Amino acid sequence: MKLVVGLGNPGERYADTRHNIGVMVAVRAASSAGIALKRQGYQGVYGVGRLAGEEAAVLLPQTFMNRSGASVAPACQSLGITPGDLIVIHDEIDLPFGTLRIKVGGGHGGHNGLRSITEALGHGDFLRVRLGVGRPPAGGDVSGYVLGRFTSGERKQLDEYLAAATDALEFLLQRGPVEAMNSYNNRELIDIGQA
């Protein structure tokens, strides 16, 4: 079984923020696969079904970003998830809006959700789908930026971006990380010149 985790913060206040783009992709992938995210457990909401032909659980931690590990670690333990079967989808300020990178393992790069998961699991050997949200203007507040909403230009392209990111997640599940990295890591998913 695979465990797909969409990182973000719970509640309407954060629903449409950059920090919640991981949740947006996880919800979209679950919806397209007919997986209802209605179960309560692991300090989150989740559903189980088949995603891209693979048995999978999709989990949305409800712990707030900086405590994501308190949700992910018990889910991994209960479901028998190995590091290679855990896929964490999250926002990434070091990538421009409209791009993504699939990565196997690594550090947290200052991302509080990844830091929490790595500490709770005792390793960082899981797969990541890093969704570019760009950086704030020079000298801008990073926290305020990721907790802010997308620009009007970005909102016009957000649906296309989420659809392409969902396709990348499904490709990763079907073909594995090496092929997924080769296919997605060096290309723009949308025409970001328009954002």
> Given the structure tokens 């957000």, which residue do they identify?
158
CA separation, residue 16 to residues 80, 97, 148, 170, 192 (Å): 32, 15, 8, 23, 19
Q: 130: exposed, middle or buried (C-beta count within 10 Å: 0-12, 13-18, 19+)? A: buried
DSSP secondary structure code for residue 95 in this structure: S
Q: Which of 19, 90, 111, 123 is catalytic?
A: 19
Note whether 147 and 19 are within 8 A (CB).
yes
Q: Which two tokens stand for residue 149?
A: 């909403």
Question: Residue 141: CB partners within 8 Å, gap ≥ 6?
Answer: none
Distance CA 102, CA 162 (A): 15
Q: Is 19 a catalytic residue?
A: yes
Which residues are catalytically annotated?
Answer: 19
